[in-house]
Structure 1
Amino acid sequence: MHVGIDFTAGAWQGAGIGRYTRELISAILAQSSTIRFTLFYAAGFPGASPPPYLHEVQRLCTSHPHTRAVPIPLPPRRLTQLWHRLRLPLPIEWLTGPLDIVHAPDFVAPPTRARTLVTIHDLSYMVHPECAVPGVAAFLRDAVPRALQRADVIVADSESTRRDLHRLLNIAPERVSVVYPAVDERFRPLPPDVCEPVRQRLRLPSRFVLFVGTIEPRKNLVRLLEAFARIDPTTLPDGSGRLFLVIAGRRGWMYQPVFEAIERLSLRDRVQVLDFVADSDLPIVYNLAQVFVYPSIYEGFGLPPLEALACGTPVVTSDNSSLPEVVGNAALLAPADDIDALSDRIARLLSDGALRDRLRQAGLEQAQRFRWEASARQIIEHYHSLSTGASHEASTRAFR
């Protein structure tokens, strides 16, 4: 069996789908010594800067002899235009050779004669179009229905996304397989001697509430800032009167209102905005936080709350979309549009040591339910099912 995997997101994107792709494909390769893999990816124009996670492609190919890489000498945007906007019938097999299966971890698959497995992470661009980049939303509205029509297997990140596919795109639930993302083993409770050097290097405060994610409207950061501003740190048991909010994530789109809110609420001295945090530092930053808050308006899954739970950090998150599915009974929930409720939940966790301890233990247990090895096994089962059903059709399938 020969499986081609679109690794473009894994090669270029730091968070979100990029991390999902790297973690899942690494786990799949580790369990599939009898399957041949080709990782194809947009590599950028010749002579331009290489993808920031090219080393991950190289590591996977070096670690797994049954895996090779095929760089495509175009940047991701240009490749998307060729395959999905102009719809040029240039099958990926022209570059990779014959494939039995094409695995597309990022919404759409390239033209191919092979059977396809396509992952849909969320339908946020339909549920909350006001939070999406207009050009990206327009592309997904056009490309995703076509990808779903052609897909042999549709994978969703959660039951919530499976319901959205049925409700918004009329995809029969039985066509959709839920394969949960997971949390890597490096996200775990860590001792102070490991954490303190990173606190000093990143200049993190001694006591802080943490948010991790892209700075964009869907993450609901303006309401988080308003909720944080309502907490009087002098009333908290610590007694120091000092409490900070740390926002760890790159600026995405329409991020200006977040920085305007920091000024409007006079929080400049109490809010620290980090840029993207390196993967090696992220578990430590979770460990250092007193509380992790993720007030998102909508998520197809939401890795950061799960990562925080795995690190033993108490979590407050929204009660919408997939988030209750992810955190179970191990976090405090609040409506995304209720600033008072969000502020109350944060203050409760900061004030109630017994509640923090209970949620810390529940969070560690909840996180154990989501392992990349289990997710990889589900995908591998789909590979075998597709391969068994595709062998007699391979020579006659039209480009799709």
Structure 2
Amino acid sequence: MKIALDYTSAARQRAGIGRYTRSLIRALAQYDTTNQYALYVPRDAQYLDDTRAFPKNFRITRAPLSERYMVAMWQRARIPLPVETFTGALDIFYSPDFVLPPTRAKKKILTVHDLSFKRVPETAVPNLKWYLEDAVPRAVQRADLILADSDATRADLIELFDAPAARIQTLYSGYDEFFHPITTEHELARVRTTYQLTKPFVLHVGTIEPRKNLARLIQAFARLPQRGEIELVIAGGRGWMYDEIYAAPQKFGVSASVRFIGFTPDADLPALYSLAELVAYPSLYEGFGLPVLEAMACGAAVVTSNNSSLPEVAGDAALLIEARDVDALAFAMQKILDDSSLRAQLKQRGLVQAQKFSWQKSAQQLHAAFKL
């Protein structure tokens, strides 16, 4: 079969859906050496280093147009130029990023990661929200098979878009093999030095944007009695609508103890997770919540929210709190910091819980979905 994959997010985004797509397709390339794959990317693709190691049945197909132009043409102007103009004839087209282009493929498969623009619309940039409210329902209607990141997202698709349950499968994410507990002092010392980590710290990993609930996390951190002895380290690139987040440390009197270290390369994350006293991820809504899984795989104790997909990912290996309850978040963090036995228990449970997820399982399920 000839299968085209929209590899745009992998080629254009370092984090988020870009990371998801790179990891999933890397695992697929290790699993399937038979079908012929065209990885469709726009002219302005940037991150293609991973594809150099792909087998010969995976090839890059670069369109002569930019990502922005393609979105405008296909999703806004709705010009029906089929993707086969760039890829050639197809049996299957798979998009891992919410929307579908015009295609004559026999089977169209779509991943919808979350419906945050419907569930927590106040956290979305208005223009993007309007775009997704128009483009995603159309793609859901056209898709022969929809892959949801979690049972929670699957339920959202059925409730909010009236998508037929029979056309939706849950396809969980995995974590890359380099996410494991780091015990070598050389690597731990390297990361300590790189990020100037001289005190014990609470860690958050994720894009700086309102849905991550960082202003409340900073407020809860300010209520910890030992806040002068511990830091809150926030790792993630700037996203959108972040002014309130960056103003929060001063507002709550913890400017000296809250550090924004910016986008963190994947290679540094396992040591950061391993060094942290705990990982706090009190998101308002997640389609999956990959940092929770990666933190558990590295043996970190985790506090996360009891909403959306997060209980599915965390299982019994994290303390779950109501995301908007600052007191509950502060209490949960304090409980882990004070109780070494609980911390050790959560770390062990997290390692076990993480083993339930793998990119290899995800790739095998995706491969099975390609059958006509």
Cα RMSD over matched residues? 1.1
Do the aligned partners of 1:11 and 1:56 also contact (CA within 8 Å) in 2?
Answer: no
Do the aligned partners of 2:92 and 2:370 also contact (CA within 8 Å) in 1?
Answer: yes
Do the aligned partners of 2:26 and 2:50 also contact (CA within 8 Å) in 1?
Answer: no
Whichever residue aligns with residue 286 of structure 1, its letter is Y
| 1:98-117 map, 5 Å | 98-114=89-105, 115-117=107-109
Aligned to 2:313: 326
User: Is residue 54 from structure 1 mapped to residue 48 from structure 2 by the alignment?
Assistant: yes
Q: Deviations over 1:87-130 (max 9, x none)?
A: 11111111111111001000111111002110000000011111
Of the three residues 153, 178, 193, the one matched with 1:186 is 178
Q: Distance in 1 between matches of 2:64 and 2:225?
A: 54
Q: Distance in 1 between matches of 2:89 and 2:312?
A: 39
Structure 2 spans left out of the alignment, 5+ residues: none
Q: Distance in 2 between matches of 1:105 and 1:259?
A: 31
Q: 1:354 deviation in Å?
A: 0.5
Which structure has the greater CA radius of gyration?
1
Do the aligned partners of 2:274 and 2:300 also contact (CA within 8 Å) in 1?
Answer: yes
Aligned to 1:67: 58
User: Is residue 88 from structure 1 mapped to residue 105 from structure 2 by the alignment?
Assistant: no
Structure 1 spans left out of the alignment, 5+ residues: 45-49, 235-240, 387-400
Q: How many residues align?
A: 370
User: Is residue 201 from structure 1 mapped to residue 188 from structure 2 by the alignment?
Assistant: no
Q: Distance in 1 between matches of 2:354 and 2:64?
A: 39
Aligned to 1:165: 157
Q: Deviations over 1:310-363 (max 9, x none)?
A: 000000000101000100000001100110000000011011010011111100
Q: 1:67 deviation in Å?
A: 1.1
Aligned to 1:221: 214
Aligned to 1:392: none
Q: Which moved more, 1:192-201 or 1:85-94?
A: 192-201
Q: 1:194 deviation in Å?
A: 1.8
Aligned to 1:263: 250
Whichever residue aligns with residue 372 of structure 1, its letter is W
Whichever residue aligns with residue 15 of structure 2, its letter is A
TM-score, normalised by the number of residues in structure 2: 0.97
Which 4+ residue blocks in structure 1 deviate beyond 6 angstroms? Answer: none
Q: Distance in 2 between matches of 1:341 and 1:261?
A: 19
User: Is residue 141 from structure 1 mapped to residue 128 from structure 2 by the alignment?
Assistant: no
Of the three residues 340, 343, 355, the one matched with 1:356 is 343
Whichever residue aligns with residue 241 of structure 2, its letter is M
Of the three residues 186, 196, 205, the one matched with 1:212 is 205
